[in-house]
Amino acid sequence: MTAARTDPCTGPAPLDAAEAVRRWFAAWRPRGGGGERLPLLAADGRVLAGPVRARVANPAHDLAAMDGIAVTCADTPTGWLAPGAFDVVDTGDPIPPGRDAVVPRELLDRGPGDLVGLVGLVGLSEPPTPGRHVRRAGEDVAAGELLLPAGHRLRPVDLAVLASAGHATVEVTRAPRVVVIPTGDEIREAGTRPRRGEIVDSNSVLIAATLARRGAVVERTAIVPDVPERLAAVVRAAADRADLVLVIAGSSAGRDDHTAAVVRAVGAVCVHHLPLRPGHPVLLGTAGTEAPVPLVGVPGYPVAAARITRDFAEAALDRVEGTARRPGPTVTAVLTRAVASAAHTDEEVLVSVHDGAASPLPRGAGALTSLMRASGVVRSPLGGEGWAAGDEVVVETRPGAPLTGGRHR
């Protein structure tokens, strides 16, 4: 008898976001697709498909680290040196054979009439030390040394190291494909003047730009009206060409909120609603049946949409690319006023940090400008009840956000 299959998308509601992600991840596997080899300048932000080792040493030879003269310490007394007892070198020059130290120009005495060229007598006031002011071959990178592991997201400094170690190209994983689907009868395209009851679509701009910045190839569909059959068709088509699908709005409990029903029809709902503020209506599921792809139902309020994109959509892309997320930088600051938080929610509060003081920003999930002005967030986990004025808090900062002062941790 065949054992019954355990469906990860059934069972009691998850207690927290970490458990929700575990359940969601059990319902889908990243699609394959191999990688591609790119020139270094085109690989910034991409993820290594495999480990990379140095092809050559850096430096490749012993080099002078200063302008001056190269000497052989055992044969170099203090006092005046005649031509032939040294070689003139500039920074970066190979060390001549038999020489083992460099004496900088500023430590040399010059003979009569030799103010620039070091072509006559040169005086030493103290004996040189072997290896002094010499960059040894391979002191930075040894040939064959492991430089970066598979799954590492490349930064500009990584590309520079690869160049110094003999690489002009690098093998990276395929860029993940994302389809963002804005929905709602009341939603209008950016650039239009909304009439009464209409809302300009800003969420898809925020989400698409966020995911494109981290290396995804993002497609945004046209706005889909609140018609379940039309949304189902768009989601099915997206699942055929994407590694991740995001449906904006429609996951709450309103009369026109059809996302959950549509996802059940085209795939599976793994998680619907979590004790998050903002972000409670989040939906995590899959689209497609034979090779399901991950789907995120993103709340319609911008602050909630930003959080859900960061915490869940980016986590899914990390898995697709085979990389691990690294915690962002944090600073400590002092709250300028008290902030209450319900113990039954995992809450994020946007703050602006200036001169070591963290000022809470308007907390409405629709406060889009708060996202723009925020230096980062402070987090009140489940069971927490907020902070008093004057409390020192840890601020999770955001790349490029305005920030002055604060103590880095």
What is the full DSSP assignment across 91-160? TTPBPPTT--EEEEGGGEEEPTT-SSS--S-EEESS---TTTTEE-TTSSB-TT-EEE-TTPBP-HHHHH
Rg (CA), the chain: 30
Q: What is the pLDDT of residues 211-267, one digit of tens each?
A: 999 889 999 999 999 999 999 999 999 999 999 999 999 887 777 789 999 999 999
Query: Tokens standing for 180?
Result: 């963002």
Decide which of 321, 353, 379 is a domain's last residue. Answer: 321
Q: Are residues 188 and 315 in the same domain?
A: yes
Q: Give the pLDDT confidence score for residue 335 in this predicted structure.
A: 96
DSSP state of 326: -
pTM: 0.83
What distance in Å separates the CA atoms of residue 302 and residue 206, rounded to the nearest whole number? Answer: 8
We report the CATH number of the domain holding residue 364 as: 2.40.340.10
Q: Give the pLDDT confidence score for residue 120 in this predicted structure.
A: 67
Q: Are residues 29 and 45 in the same domain?
A: no
Q: Are residues 50 and 92 in the same domain?
A: no
Q: What is the pLDDT of residues 14-63, one digit of tens each?
A: 779 999 999 999 999 998 777 899 999 999 999 999 999 999 999 999 99
Q: CA of 8: how far to CAs of 22, 102, 150, 270, in Å? A: 9, 67, 29, 7
Packed helices 259-266 and 228-241: angle between N→C axes, nearest 10 degrees: 50
Burial (CB < 10 A; 0-12, 13-18, 19+), residue 104, is: middle
Q: Are residues 193 and 264 in the same domain?
A: yes
Q: Are residues 182 and 252 in the same domain?
A: yes
Please list the ranges in the chain whose pLDDT falls under 70: 1-8, 10-11, 111-120, 365-366, 403-409
69 beta partners: 88, 103
DSSP one-letter string for 35-84:
EEEEEGGG-TT-BBSS-EE-SS-BSSS-EESSSEEEE-GGG--SEEE-TT
Q: Give the pLDDT confidence score for residue 83 in this predicted structure.
A: 84
Query: Tokens standing for 388?
Result: 């008093």
Domain that holds residue 112: 63-135
We report the CATH number of the domain holding residue 51 as: 3.90.105.10
Packed helices 203-213 and 314-321: angle between N→C axes, nearest 10 degrees: 30
Q: Give the pLDDT confidence score for residue 361 in this predicted structure.
A: 94
Q: Say how many domains are in the chain.
A: 4
Q: Would you call 357 helix, strand, or coil by DSSP?
A: strand
Q: Are residues 28 and 91 in the same domain?
A: no
